Amino acid sequence: MRKKDISDAIGNINDRYIEEAADFQRKKKRTGKSSILQKSVAAAASFILVFILSVSTLVAADFSPAYEFLYTLSPSAAQKLKPVSMISEDNGIKIEVISAYVESGEAKILISVQDLEEDRIDETTDLFDSFSINTSFDCSSSCENIKYDAETETAVFLISISQWDKYDIADEKITFSVREILSNKETYEGSISTLNLDKNSGSVKIFTPYSVLGGSGANSEKYMEDFQALVSQGDINSPVSGVALTAIGYVGEKLHIQIRYDSALETDNHGYVYLKNSDGDVLDCEASISFFTDEGEKDMYSEYIFDLSDKNVSDYVIYGKFTTSNMHIKGKWSVTFPLEKVR
């Protein structure tokens, strides 16, 4: 059989059967049991796997369902079959592998991201934690923007991978995938309100948020047990586009300051709030709690909780530091490449 015929045959495998076989494998791992019908599906899956591995030297098309199925059965086999692709383009943006090597038990990979059509890539560009690294070995990894070339509008990222259990990853292949890119970020820091922080400045209403995302600060766990948020008082002040002060008041003896981060899941708008007095002394919150107000989960809210019991309240002003983005790019980028040991 010619390589083209084999490739065509693999490409014509019905995606439904592949996905059913993969689903069977996942269920089998969870239950450890299988019926006669399941065993038949497994046999068919095994045949597909053996058939594909028998022609692992051919340069096949990237038929995603078959590739994902192979990863379910054998990551090592999937990496051997997938063709090496050093460039991936989608939505007018090109991702390219510049170099990849292994030294002293750690892999270093340089990836460039370039806009071929518009001006969407800049020095603030990041991958929004949407990247994934598929390997045939267990590992930990990180990715950071280390350089931007304004002339070519190209951002360069450094990926670092460390293997576990002293496994030698030299000459292995990895697949780096990206789904989302953020850019055009801005950072704001300064006063966000000169409101009176006096405890008697007004009463507030509270409610139970739809979903509490988490908290930070030494006392965050205490507040998260039965968290009650301030009811929004509307946009009191918006120091920067995408961020607004929406409520302020006392719950018990603690001052709560509420900030809305617009479309946080797409923009990664985030920040923190602190208080500062006329002497320049900074007072950080003792806890911050983030939450969604409804099931739409579009805008994220955070409340910053302060203890002012021993402070001169009238001498403090609300400050904030925020990072926002107005450029969110979606796509499907994937590059597969070998890791070569430094000679």
Res 85: pLDDT: 60
In the chain, domain spans: 18-57, 65-185+329-341, 187-324
* pLDDT cut 90: percent of the chain above it: 44
d(CA 316, CA 294): 33
- The number of beta carbons lying within 10 Å of the beta carbon of residue 269 is 24
At 201-229, the pLDDT tens digits run 567 899 999 999 988 888 888 888 889 99
Res 167: pLDDT: 65
Q: Does domain 65-185+329-341 have CATH number 3.30.70.330?
A: no
Mean pLDDT value across residues 152-177: 81
pTM: 0.68
d(CA 176, CA 54): 25
Pairing of the two strands 270-277 and 316-338? antiparallel
At 284-335, the pLDDT tens digits run 999 999 999 987 788 999 999 999 998 999 899 999 999 999 899 999 999 9
d(CA 286, CA 103): 43
Question: Is residue 80 pLDDT above 60, yes or no?
Answer: no
Q: How confident is the model at residue 17 (pLDDT cuts 50, 70, 90)?
A: very low
Place of tokens 């994220």: 300
d(CA 219, CA 221): 6
Using alpha carbons, list the distances in angstroms from residue 176 to 77, 109, 333: 17, 10, 8
SS3 category, 224 = helix
Mean pLDDT value across residues 150-165: 85
Candidates 164, 156, 160; CA nearest to 102 is 160
**What's the full length of the chain, in residues?**
343
Question: Is residue 5 pLDDT above 60, yes or no?
Answer: no
- The CA-based angle 325-331-337, given to 5 degrees, is 115
Mean pLDDT value across residues 81-107: 81
Q: How confident is the model at residue 98 (pLDDT cuts 50, 70, 90)?
A: confident
Q: What Rg, from alpha-carbon coordinates, does the chain have?
A: 26
Candidates 115, 19, 117; CA nearest to 67 is 19
Candidates 271, 274, 276; CA nearest to 187 is 271
Question: Is residue 11 pLDDT above 90, yes or no?
Answer: no
Residue 287 vs residue 81, higher pLDDT? 287
Give the DSSP H or E segment for 186.
strand 173-193
Mean pLDDT value across residues 72-82: 60
Q: Across the chain, what does the average pLDDT equal?
A: 79
